Amino acid sequence: MPKIKEKVESELLLQEPEMFRVLLHNDDYTSMDFVVNVLINIFHKSVQEAEMIMLKVHKQGSAICGVYTYEIAQTKAVQVKKLAQQNEFPLLATIEKDA
- The CATH code of the domain that includes 89 is 3.30.1390.10
3 in any annotated domain: no
The pLDDT, as a whole number, for residue 12 is 79
CA-based torsion, 64, 66, 70, 71: positive or negative: negative
Q: How many domains does the chain have?
A: 1
User: What's the full length of the chain, in residues?
Assistant: 99
User: Which residue range is the domain that position 26 belongs to?
Assistant: 19-97
Q: Evaluate whether 79 touches 42 at the Cβ level (below 8 Å).
A: yes
Which pLDDT band holds residue 3 (cuts at 50, 70, 90)? confident
Instruction: Check whether 16 has a pLDDT greater than 80.
Output: yes
Share of the chain above pLDDT 70, in %: 97
Which pLDDT band holds residue 75 (cuts at 50, 70, 90)? very high
13 in any annotated domain: no
5 in any annotated domain: no
Instruction: Summarize pLDDT for 23-62 with one digit per residue, the tens.
Output: 999 999 999 999 999 999 999 999 999 999 999 999 999 9
9 in any annotated domain: no
34 in any annotated domain: yes
53 in any annotated domain: yes
pTM confidence score: 0.84
The pLDDT, as a whole number, for residue 1 is 66
**Residue 22, number of CB atoms within 10 A of its CB:** 24
48 in any annotated domain: yes
